[in-house]
Structure 1
Amino acid sequence: MYNSKPHQEHDIERLHQHMRDTRLAVLISHGDQGLMATHLPVLLDTDEGQFGTVYAHLARANRQWQDLAQGAEALLVFPGADAYVSPSFYPSKAQNPKVVPTWNYLAVHAYGTAEVIHDAAPLLQIVSRLTERHEQGRSQPWKVSDAPAGYLDGMLRAIVGIRLPVARLQGARKLSQNRSAQDIAGVREGLSASPDYLDQQLAAHMRQL
């Protein structure tokens, strides 16, 4: 990922929190079948490995798992908040009109070699943990065990699990850090005043600078 120095994020806790907060990641790999990408929910286990380990599952019909099984390096993209930044947000524009639009955003890239899981027991654990994560907070959370056993067995045979120990993490936290404090405040105020929820979300991150 291209990422200029002012916008690089190296805090492992912040990177992990971003990964946990991302509900849908993008798994990208390149192998015999060419470049492939799958959007999928993932689980991060920070107790496994230096940078954590990610668990997920793919449909067995999705041939991407075959490339992963052959040892192709994989990239998991965890997108975050983003917003268009207008030059009109910069108070400095009054003195120096040499400004152009840009884009602020947050993102984490995780790299590693995946292990493909076929056995029913660990597959069941992956889908159960994913379900528990997204059902928590509901008044009547649905559990995997609520499904009939025979039906569940068939569903497990239709997927493969993915275990990806993260070998390398990259974080981008582009929040106008290359601008003056006055311009940063102008961007933050401009995005806060926007009716767009994503603009407001990005402004909230800028308040943490």
Structure 2
Amino acid sequence: MLIHPWDAPHDDAEWRDWLASHDFGQLSVNGPPGQPPWVQPLHFRYDAHSGPYGAVITHLARPNPMWPALEADGLVLLSVVDDYAFIPGPWAAPEGGPSEHGTPTSFYAAVQLTCTAQVVDDPYEKAELLNRQVAHFQPGGGSARAAVGEAPYGRLLSGLRGLRLDVREVRAKFKYANHKPEAVQERIAEGLAARGAPLDPAARAHQIRRRTGVRDGRGPAPPPRAE
């Protein structure tokens, strides 16, 4: 993923804050020799306080064909992308020039976590992992806890395997045209507000937040840095 200096996160808190509210991504695993990488969409729980870059827990069904590849090579990539929007060329046209000369582009936020995967097969550890994951998605409860040998989920534990992903590298990108002149950025923001597509409000909020440097009440952000 190409990351220009103006698209890089202002600091680690920016990508951590964004990832805290995004828990669905694609796990990419090196495929067998002669085959492309294998990709699995999945829900996950990110723990920011486990290690310097955090850790991820998730699980997959035991019949999933990715397991042999995971066991052969535990180096994996978890990719999360959201808050994306197509920006029409006229919105991004240079000041004073013809609108039809504007270059269309994409806005998006993306975080890629390079991880070392550990397969979890111990039934008690799997139950604990599942309970932690469910607690994230159902903080108000509403489901029985998984426990070995106990209904209703004990008999299902053998049908799945857990995964712990220790994050070793993070690449993050917030592509919202923050290198463009102020007037062009204002035009794009107005276009997003007027169009009102499902993800336009989130894309517009990122663009304005990064342009003004105001982030969740923490004050101005430092200058962008290269990833």
* Contact 2:83–2:202 (8 Å) recurs in 1: yes
SS of residue in 2 equivalent to 1:128:
helix
Q: Aligned AA for 1:183?
A: V
Structure 2 equivalent of residue 168 of structure 1 = 169
Task: Give 1:47 shift.
Answer: 1.8
The CA distance in 2 between the partners of 1:17 and 1:145, in whole Å, is: 28
* Contact 1:117–1:123 (8 Å) recurs in 2: yes
The CA distance in 2 between the partners of 1:144 and 1:88, in whole Å, is: 54
Task: Give 1:10 shift.
Answer: 5.5
The CA distance in 1 between the partners of 2:177 and 2:43, in whole Å, is: 30
Say yes or no: does 1:121 pair with 2:124: yes
Cα 1:2–1:144 change in 2 (3 A) is: farther
Task: Give 1:200 shift.
Answer: 1.8
Counterpart mapping for 1:30-41 below 5 A: 30-32=30-32, 34=35, 35-41=37-43
The CA distance in 1 between the partners of 2:89 and 2:15, in whole Å, is: 29
Higher helix share: 1
TM-score, structure 2 normalization: 0.83
* Contact 2:90–2:103 (8 Å) recurs in 1: no
Structure 2 equivalent of residue 207 of structure 1 = 208
The CA distance in 2 between the partners of 1:65 and 1:14, in whole Å, is: 33
Task: Give 1:199 shift.
Answer: 1.2
Cα root mean square deviation, aligned? 2.1
Structure 2 equivalent of residue 84 of structure 1 = 86
SS of residue in 2 equivalent to 1:31:
coil
Greater displacement, 141-150 / 20-29 = 141-150
The CA distance in 1 between the partners of 2:145 and 2:114, in whole Å, is: 33
Task: Give 1:110 shift.
Answer: 0.3
Structure 2 equivalent of residue 16 of structure 1 = 16
Task: Give 1:70 shift.
Answer: 2.2
Structure 2 equivalent of residue 52 of structure 1 = 54
Q: Aligned AA for 2:29?
A: S
TM-score, structure 1 normalization: 0.89
Q: Aligned AA for 1:28?
A: S
Cα 1:7–1:146 change in 2 (3 A) is: closer
Structure 2 equivalent of residue 74 of structure 1 = 76
Q: Aligned AA for 1:63?
A: P
Q: Aligned AA for 1:104?
A: F
Structure 1 equivalent of residue 111 of structure 2 = 108
Structure 1 equivalent of residue 7 of structure 2 = 7
* Contact 2:54–2:167 (8 Å) recurs in 1: yes
The CA distance in 2 between the partners of 1:10 and 1:163, in whole Å, is: 28
Say yes or no: does 1:130 pair with 2:136: no
The CA distance in 1 between the partners of 2:196 and 2:155, in whole Å, is: 46
Task: Give me the identity figure in percent.
Answer: 22
Deviation beyond 4 Å, 4+ runs, structure 1? none
* Contact 1:93–1:99 (8 Å) recurs in 2: no
Query: Structure 2: which 5+ runs fail to align?
Result: 211-227
Structure 2 equivalent of residue 198 of structure 1 = 199
**What is the CA deviation profile of residues 31-89 of structure 1, one whole-angstrom value per residue up to 9, with x for unaligned ones?**
32732111111111122111111111111111212221223420000111000111222
Query: Structure 1: which 5+ runs fail to align?
Result: none
The CA distance in 1 between the partners of 2:22 and 2:5, in whole Å, is: 24
